[in-house]
Amino acid sequence: MLRAPFLYLSRRRGLQRFVTRQKLTARLAYRFVAGDRLEDAVRVVKEVNARGLTASLDHLGENVTEERAAHAATEDYLAAFERIATERLDANVSVKLTQLGLDISPDLCRALLERILARARQLDNFVRIDMEGSAYTQRTLDLVFALHEKYPNCGVVLQSYLFRTLEDVQRVNALGVRVRLVKGAYDEPPSIAYPKKSDVDACYEKAMRELVLHGVYPAIATHDDRLIEATRAFAREHGISGDRFEFQLLFGIRRDLQERLRKDGYRVRIYVPYGTEWYPYLMRRLAERPANLLFFVRSVLRERRAA
């Protein structure tokens, strides 16, 4: 019931400045975000790697409205790749196209993305293009498909709440593009997306099967025990070994699950966001599980009573 209000808040940029300045909300955010600086993300990735897991770094930011900000985001990603290489981290990066200026100019966005992809290719690394709201789905896929031949080191994300996704799965599989499969984190109308969780999950399972069977090293990104078990069972039944796909989970969520999958011998990648632009990211995490807010408020109240 609270999903829609949090997703509404995630788009209210007027609130962003106010909310991010509050010490209490910042404390809540840092349960899901590594910290403000690349330094913080590097520290978290080292811990993640030490636990036998890999990572994907996300420098938070989206829907930039100034070219300057898109250029700055590009420099930040180039710096992240340098750090990954010099510190020998087991990590790639995740990028949002609206962070590279897609709303300002598709040509600018493409040019900046190519700079990142070219550097990643030199360093033998990989760039995942995150999927944003449905206004960007086609444009994101078009750009990835256009660049994939030149830069096979880029992959995309598909969202199982969209009706179109099973068709998109056929297309990416035919082109050999690597996919991260997610349920979808934005507010979409019932004309294009399943409103019911059971339908989103059913579509996820169908897409997972196609990707695990015919895709190129797919990433099954979910914290949903049932879908994770379905993936494991499907791979077993079809003799697909655990090194042909990976599970992905978000930093700060279900550490028990991260450990269990690793212990069972699966490849697990943790999505590690960092940076000061955490407001929309936090609102989406609260939309997925409003109880996060309740737990946090309770723990703060307990601390205050104890003080």
Ligand X SMILES: Cc1cc2nc3c(=O)[nH]c(=O)nc-3n(C[C@H](O)[C@H](O)[C@H](O)COP(=O)(O)OP(=O)(O)OC[C@H]3O[C@@H](n4cnc5c(N)ncnc54)[C@H](O)[C@@H]3O)c2cc1C
Residue 158 identity: L
88 burial (CB, 10 Å; 0-12 / 13-18 / 19+) is: exposed
The least distance separating ligand X from the CB of residue 247, rounded to whole angstroms, comes to 9
Q: Which is nearer to ligand X, 76 or 130 (CB)?
A: 130
Residue whose C-alpha is closest to residue 64's, from 109, 110, 2, 111: 109
| Residue 192, CB-side half-sphere exposure with 13 Å CA sphere | 14
Q: Does 131 bind ligand X (CB under 6 A)?
A: yes
Q: Does 148 bind ligand X (CB under 6 A)?
A: no
Residue 182 sits in the site that holds ligand X (CB under 6 A): yes
Q: For tokens 């796909």, name the residue.
A: 245
Is 130 known to be catalytic? yes
**Catalytic residue (choose from 128, 178, 180, 267):** 180
Residue 185 interacting with ligand X (CB under 6 A): yes
Residue from the set 59, 148, 178, 183 that interacts with ligand X by CB under 6 A: 183
Q: Is residue 178 near ligand X by the rule CB under 6 A?
A: no
Q: Does residue 99 interact with ligand X by CB under 6 A?
A: no
Judged by CB under 6 A, the residue of 141, 221, 228, 272 near ligand X is 221
130 interacts with ligand X by CB under 6 A:
yes
Asked if 251 contacts 271 with a C-beta cutoff of 8 angstroms, the reply is yes
CB distance 198 to 183 below 8 Å: no
Nearer Cβ to ligand X (91/249): 249
Q: Write the CB contacts of 175 (distance below 8 Å, at least 6 apart in sequence).
A: 145, 148
Tokens 């407001």 identify what position? 279
225 is catalytic: no
Half-sphere exposure of 197 (CA within 13 A, CB side): 6
292 touches ligand X by CB under 6 A: yes
Catalytic: which of 76, 130, 168, 201? 130
Q: Whose Cβ is closer to ligand X: residue 148's or residue 285's?
A: 285
Cα–Cα distance, 105 to 125 (Å, whole number)? 26
Pattern 234-263, ligand X, x by CB under 6 A:
--------------xxx--xx---------
Nearer to ligand X by C-beta: 165 or 248? 248
What are the angstrom distances between the C-alpha of 159 and each of 92, 188, 199, 200, 245? 21, 11, 12, 9, 17
- 46/41 Cα distance (integer angstroms): 9
Q: Rule CB under 6 A: is residue 271 a binding residue for ligand X? A: yes
**Pick 40 or 288: Cβ nearer ligand X:** 288
Catalogue the active-site residues: 130, 180
Binding site for ligand X (CB under 6 A): 130-131, 157, 159, 182-186, 221-224, 248-250, 253-254, 271, 285, 288-289, 292
